[in-house]
Amino acid sequence: MTYGKIVRLLALTPALLFWGCASMLVPGEMLDSSIRSYQQMIRWQEPNGAAAFVEPERRAEYLERMAELDKIKIVEYEIKRVELTDKDMKAQVTVEFKYHHLDTIVVKSVTDEQKWEYESEGKQVGWHLISLPPEFP
């Protein structure tokens, strides 16, 4: 092996180590992005956009529950806690919704305990919401 090849190999080693370690962090980093994107869909009251984050088997049921969005206005969506479990492949996310019904200005709040799971194989790789949204009494 020539001196030039050894230097190039040594120069690439930190980059290879970085990318190898970074790939292990992807699910956790992707969770934050998924939660924030989902949050925007909820705030903009776009149930079909939000449903893209729901596991496919539960989307119809999810959209039925989200039909309530036609009757309310969400004024705040605050992420209170994120807890990763099961080797960062599952997450429990506590969210507080502040909202009011369209026929009143009284602001109410409801806490939502969201369950997320990371799918690492198949067509739908990424984080999926597996719990239904809360009811808005």
CATH code for position 101: 3.10.450.50
Q: Is the pLDDT of residue 120 over 70?
A: yes
Full-model pTM: 0.75
Q: What is the pLDDT of residue 26?
A: 65
Residue 82 inside a domain? The answer is yes
Structure confidence by residue, pLDDT tens digits, 5-51: 443 434 334 433 333 443 444 677 889 999 999 999 998 989 999 99
Residue 125 inside a domain? The answer is yes
The number of distinct structural domains making up the chain is 1
As a whole number, mean pLDDT of residues 92-100 equals: 96
Residue 84 inside a domain? The answer is yes
Q: What is the pLDDT of residue 122?
A: 75
Structure confidence by residue, pLDDT tens digits, 56-88: 899 999 999 998 888 999 999 999 999 998 888
Joined tokens for residue 103: 């026929």
Q: Fill in the amino acid letter for 21.
A: C
Place of tokens 């969400």: 74
Residue 1 inside a domain? The answer is no
Q: What is the pLDDT of residue 106?
A: 97
Q: Beta-carbon neighbour count of residue 14 at 10 Å?
A: 9
Residue 8 inside a domain? The answer is no
DSSP secondary structure string, 33-99?
Answer: HHHHHHHHHHHTT-HHHHHTTB-GGGHHHHHHHHGGGGGEEEEEEEEEEEEEETTTTEEEEEEEEEE
Residue 119 inside a domain? The answer is yes
Residue 10 inside a domain? The answer is no
Query: Do 52 and 70 form a contact (C-beta atoms < 8 A)?
Result: no
- Where in the sequence is the domain holding 110, given as residue range(s)? 26-129
CA dist list (Å): 71 to 58, 91, 101, 112, 115: 22, 30, 6, 18, 25
> Which residue, among 91, 85, 108, has the nearest Cα to 32 in the 3D structure?
91
Residue 19 inside a domain? The answer is no
Q: Is the pLDDT of residue 89 over 60?
A: yes
As a whole number, mean pLDDT of residues 127-135 equals: 93
Task: With cut-offs at 50, 70 and 90, classify the pLDDT of residue 1.
Answer: low
Return contacts of 6-11, CB within 8 angstroms, 24+ apart: none
* 101: β partners: 72
